[in-house]
Amino acid sequence: MLDSAIPDHLHCTRTQPSSLPPNFQPPYPSYSVRFPEHASQLVMAIIGAQYPTAAGADDGAAQSTLSTFLTSPTNPPSFFEWASVTDNKGFYNLSALAYWPNKAAYEAWAEQSGFSAWWAALDTHEQEQEQNDPGWFLEVFFPTMDRLETLFNTTDAAEGCAHMGEAMSGEVREHGYWGSMRDRLPLSQTDRLAGTPATTENSHTASSTSTSTGTRVRIKIPGKKNLTVIRSGQNWSNTSPSERALYLETMHPVLTKGMDFLRDRGDEVGCYSCRFMEIVSDPMVADKSSNNMDRTFGLAYFDDLASLERWCKEHPTHLAIFGGFHQYARKLDNNVTLRVFHEVMVLEPEQQLFEYVGCHPGTGMMWMTGSG
């Protein structure tokens, strides 16, 4: 007996069609996170520092500053971890990915930890700015539970928002066919979740606000109707040497190509931003061997859920990964220990916050200002 990915309390009468084929049996098991029934939303924040080169981050100053806030005793995140990426302008971006159970907890943390005051003062520190001062970015998402779905191929390792779940579902019915991501989103039962096409004519030049002090620009980007955010993760830390080699030789290179395409030519498919990130060590953990580093994730922002669906279904890179995954499983006699998961959010404009201080113009949602 399969579970529905949509928990009982979020089920309602459909006015929108589902893509679930009749009598469909998924070819392999997958699971969704179950959150407490009283949870009405969650928060995911990406708080990052941007350096012209990776060496800029060697002094650990950015991580140490952000760690002080993130480990504050009042309303700290339920979970956070660190990840990095060198972007296509050669800049090194080091971010904390942090999760709170609701907006009130996030806002209380931001106030009481001193983060808000520090963040607000960043650009006025221009006079004292050191050569090695990084740019900073803050991207925060506040999805209500009806605008969130998750999929995991195993139940033994929590990732991302699963750290706030109370359990994993049983094997879910809605996966293994195109359109299943949409079918797992509770709001898709009654809403087409249409976004606004990402075109430069549609950019936020007029409505974004930017202030500059010397060379340091602070820019705020307003949210977009039904912006779609995906964090899609891969964890090969638990694989045998032969599975590890198979993953790194066959899947990882194709995945990298797909992520490079979304990063460099995302505008062709409605993708505003894509970062293919590696989990990096936590400076507060003295025993570095306890940091689990064989993990990556793609973090991408799309103008519309349909654009993300189309990329998955039509782009040769994801098609190759998708098809390759089945061959991969066959080669391993279905004993796959590679863990893959994703979390997808489709957000109202007021459920998004984007702010960039002293970052280069191709960062995150900044390309929409017309300067990217």
Residue 360 annotated among the catalytic residues of the structure? no
Q: How far is the CB of 252 from ligand HEM (least distance, A)?
A: 7
Choose between 111 and 314: whose C-beta lies nearer to ligand HEM: 314
Q: How far is the CB of 208 from ligand HEM (least distance, A)?
A: 25
Catalytic residue among 11, 125, 342, 360: 342
Choose between 150 and 208: whose C-beta lies nearer to ligand HEM: 150
Can you give the three-state secondary structure of the chain, one letter per residue? CCECCCCHHHCCCCCCCCCCCCCCCCCCCCECEECCCCCCECEEEEEEEEECCHHHHHHCHHHHHHHHHHCCCCCCCCEEEEEEEECCCCCEEEEEEEEECCHHHHHHHHHHCCHHHHHHHHHHHHHHCCCCCCEEEEEEECCEHHHEEEEECCCCCCCHHHHHCCEECCCECCCCCCCHHHHHCHHHHCCCCCCCCCCHHHCCCCCCEEEEECCEEEEEECCCCCEEEEEEEEECCCCCHHHHHHHHHHHHHHHHHHHHHHHHHHHHCCEEEEEEEEEECCCCCCCHHHCCCCEEEEEEEECCHHHHHHHHHHCHHHHHHHHHHHHHHHHCCCCCCCEEEEEEEEECHHHEEEEEECCCCCCHHHHHHCCC
Q: How far is the CB of 73 from ligand HEM (least distance, A)?
A: 35
Q: How far is the CB of 258 from ligand HEM (least distance, A)?
A: 6
Choose between 69 and 261: whose C-beta lies nearer to ligand HEM: 261
Q: How far is the CB of 355 from ligand HEM (least distance, A)?
A: 23
Choose between 51 and 367: whose C-beta lies nearer to ligand HEM: 367
Choose between 115 and 276: whose C-beta lies nearer to ligand HEM: 276
* Binding interface with ligand HEM (CB under 6 A): 30, 175-176, 178-181, 230, 232, 234, 251, 255, 298, 300, 308-309, 312, 318, 321-322, 325, 340, 342
**Catalytic residue IDs:** 342
